[in-house]
Amino acid sequence: MINKSNIGEVTIEEKGFKLTIKQKEEPVQNVIAAPVHTPMMTAMPQVAAAQPAAQATAPAADKKAADAVPDNFITIKSPMIGTFYRSSAPGKPAFVEIGDDVTPGKAVCIIEAMKLFNEIESEVKGRIVKVLVEDASPVEYDQPLFLVEPA
Amino acid sequence: MNTCLHIGLGFPFSNLLIFTFSNLNSMFKKILIANRGEIALRVIRTCKEMGIKTVAVYSTADKDSLHVRFADEAVCIGKAASSDSYLNIPHIMAAAEITNADGIHPGYGFLAENARFAEICGEHNIKFIGPTPDQIRSMGDKITAKETMIKAGVPVVPGGEGLLESLEEAVSLAREVGYPVILKATAGGGGKGMRVVWSEEEMEKNYNTAKAEAGTSFKNDGIYMEKFVEEPRHIEIQVAGDRYGKVCHLSERDCSIQRRHQKLVEESPSPFMTPELRQRMGDAAIKAASAIGYESVGTIEFLVDKHRNFYFMEMNTRIQVEHCVTEEVTNFDLIKEQIKIAQGEAISGLNYEPQMHAIECRINAEDPYNDFRPSPGKITTLHQPGGHGIRIDSHVYAGYVIPPYYDSMIAKIIAVARTREEAINTMSRALSEYVIEGVKTTIPFHQQLMKNEDFIKGNFNTKFLETFKMV
């Protein structure tokens, strides 16, 4: 729902948690029609309530992320073309969430092409700061998938 | 959507064909173009006219390419090297899958004549816009192709049946075939392992050096012999076949102006053609395509000697770079015909002759003053000519950076007129206004060629450029 609207950013504050949803910017040239399937997970996996820790420790950094990516942040890019999935199967938890640590070799997502599921491994060490692609959407070669703050 | 290739005399052949309404469900909704540069743009243009959605695929080096911007969707399929991108079958198939393309147009080069790729498309229920894998295979192997042509009664270059086993065999075969003969490396190309032998006295020396050269160049010293066609012209016939067994031809293109076996200029009609020769060559081309039940557009290449004997050289089972020349003289959109054939439409079965005269000059990013050395880089200024009788098919624009990873052709300029003389005149005029700065191009070469006396007289063969000097 959020994706179809033109909302850039929404912040909701309630007792106990603060929710910030940021729309990723899609470059116009590379619009790819999303395949028609039922999404494997609930609509907004990347904004699960367990965000406050990340927000409390570095609210300034998160706010800045919306405006400009710090130079040292690394982007994990897609090594292949296919459909991006956050978890290994419908209902299973995502490989990584914002705030999780990754090390080289740790699976971060699956990219499926022609019925073959490929686990994509991180090549860097750091912390996931942002998930750049919606679950179950098509990705192309070199497409940025995750933003990582290097350790 | 009716028949393709019906002659523009105002006859409504479309109403006569029973196949007209049967193919609504095989019409393409979305075509992925597995190519780049000017041909990708070419296919996208026709798809747009036909109401078919397009998917461009591109390497990281082609991010700013025009075909990416003109297509409805674009998918990056890999790194700059062709093997990582435009030749990468899994990546291309994945791109077709995520975009739900129902057809793939392979263009020319890259995977256009890769039978395995055509097969894989079929296995994935994506229509490969071209012939069947078997048809590609049968013409891809030169020895099989030649055998098929002999059986079909198409004249081939006389020669031996296989590799030469010994010098003695070479001598006796040459006596049969008649001097001059040419020894060629079976694994060869680019002129290596090739020797012309004019008489029996020269055979031993040439046999040995040809074998030695083949061995060092290709690790395979197998050589075979053919009659050497003297002062050959390269004249090819455009054909089209539908899936119902009909084949037709759209006359010839003369592509004799070549440098190191690369075509630089093509024209139709050939200045060497006669109505009688066109009839014979056209019939032979139809026989050749029919022999394999060819479906799609294709080209039969012939060598024509000074006596107007012609010999089958090879068949190109794809759309060619110079297809535009035929389009301009017969007034058909060959990409559209190709797509319609792939959609299961029937052709009229009529043959078509040139109604105008067209000449195409290939503009490459090469320096004609320095042995045609490639000149990639940024185009700083671009002004394309226009006016009556000029067509330009090009993917470049001012500010575009020509990548070093692919071939050097940046534009095709085609001049069309009622006579050859007028076409040359129009081409000369247009070339004089064609401005491309920032890289070297072959525009000066074409300007000099258009003023060359022998070229103007139509007096040339494939050896022409060997003695042509830039002024």
List the catalytic residue out of B42, B195, B233, B318: B318
* Whole-number pLDDT of residue A76: 96
Residues from B contacting A (CB-CB < 8 Å) are 60, 68-69, 73-79, 85, 90-91, 93-95, 97-100, 124
| C-alpha to C-alpha distance for A65 and A61, rounded to whole angstroms | 6
Of A30, A33, A113, the CB nearest to B94: A113
Whether A30 and B76 lie within 8 Å, measured CB to CB = yes
Which of A62-66, B99-103, B162-166, B361-365 bottoms out in mean pLDDT, i.e. has the lowest? A62-66
CB spacing of B60 vs A142 below 8 angstroms: yes
Binning pLDDT at 50, 70 and 90, where does residue B59 land?
very high
Amino acid identity for residue B263 in this structure: K
Chain A residues whose CB is inside 8 A of the B101 CB are none
pLDDT, mean of residues B232-241: 97
* Dist. CA B31–CA B100, nearest whole Å: 9
Q: Do A114 and B100 touch (CB under 8 A)?
A: no
What per-residue confidence (pLDDT) applies to A46? 37
How many angstroms away from the CA of B115 is the closest CA of chain A?
Answer: 20
Which range has the worst mean pLDDT, B10-14, B95-99, B285-289? B10-14
Residue numbers in B near A81 (CB within 8 A):
75-77, 91, 94-95, 98
> What band does B163 get if pLDDT is binned at 50, 70 and 90?
confident
Q: What residue ranges do the domains of chain A occupy?
A: 9-150
Instruction: Give chain B's mean pLDDT.
Output: 92
| Partners of residue B60 in chain A, C-beta under 8 Å | 141-142
Domains in chain B: ranges and CATH:
13-138 (3.40.50.20), 167-227 (3.30.1490.20), 233-466 (3.30.470.20)
Percent of chain A with pLDDT over 70: 56
Min CA distance, A79 vs chain B (Å)? 8
Local confidence band at A96 (pLDDT 50, 70, 90 cut-offs): very high
Looking at residue B9, its pLDDT comes to 40
Q: What is the mean pLDDT of residues A28-57?
A: 38
pLDDT (tens digit per residue) in B194-214: 889 999 999 999 999 999 988
Any idea of the CA torsion for B432, B436, B439, B441, to the nearest 10 degrees? -40
Contact between residue B237 and residue B247 where contact means Cβ atoms under 8 Å apart: no
Residues of A in contact with B79 (CB under 8 A): 141
Q: Is the pLDDT of residue A151 over 50?
A: yes
Question: Mutating which of B65, B84, B98 best tests the A interface, going by the most A Cβ atoms within 10 A?
Answer: B98
Q: A16-20, B4-8, B340-344 — which one is most confidently predicted on average?
A: B340-344
Contact B75 A32 (CB under 8 A): yes
Considering only the beta carbons, identify the residue of B91, B100, B124 that sits closest to A141: B91
Mean pLDDT of B441-455: 98
Reported for B142-147, long-range contacts at CB under 8 A and 24+ positions apart, including other chains, are: B142/B314, B145/B312, B145/B314, B145/B315, B146/B312
Q: Are B241 and B347 in contact (CB under 8 A)?
A: yes
At B242, the pLDDT band (50, 70, 90 cuts) reads very high
pLDDT for the residue A13:
60
At residue A59, does pLDDT exceed 80?
no
| Confidence at residue A18, expressed as pLDDT on a 0 to 100 scale | 59
When pLDDT is cut at 50, 70 and 90, the band that residue B219 belongs to is confident
**Cα dihedral across residues B290, B292, B298, B304: positive or negative:** negative
What whole-number distance in Å separates Cα of residue B128 and Cα of residue B296?
10
Give CA–CA dist B129/B118, Å, rounded: 9
- B84 DSSP assignment: G
Query: What class is the A9-150 domain?
Result: mainly beta
pLDDT, residue B315, reads 95
- Beta strand A82-85 pairing with A107-113: antiparallel
pLDDT in tens, A17-41: 555 555 544 433 333 434 333 333 3
Active site residue B429: no
**What local confidence, expressed as pLDDT, does residue B188 receive?**
63
* B76 interaction partners in chain A (CB closer than 8 Å): 30, 81, 140-143
Which among B60, B35, B65, B40 is positioned nearest to B402, based on CA atoms?
B65
pLDDT of residue B191: 66
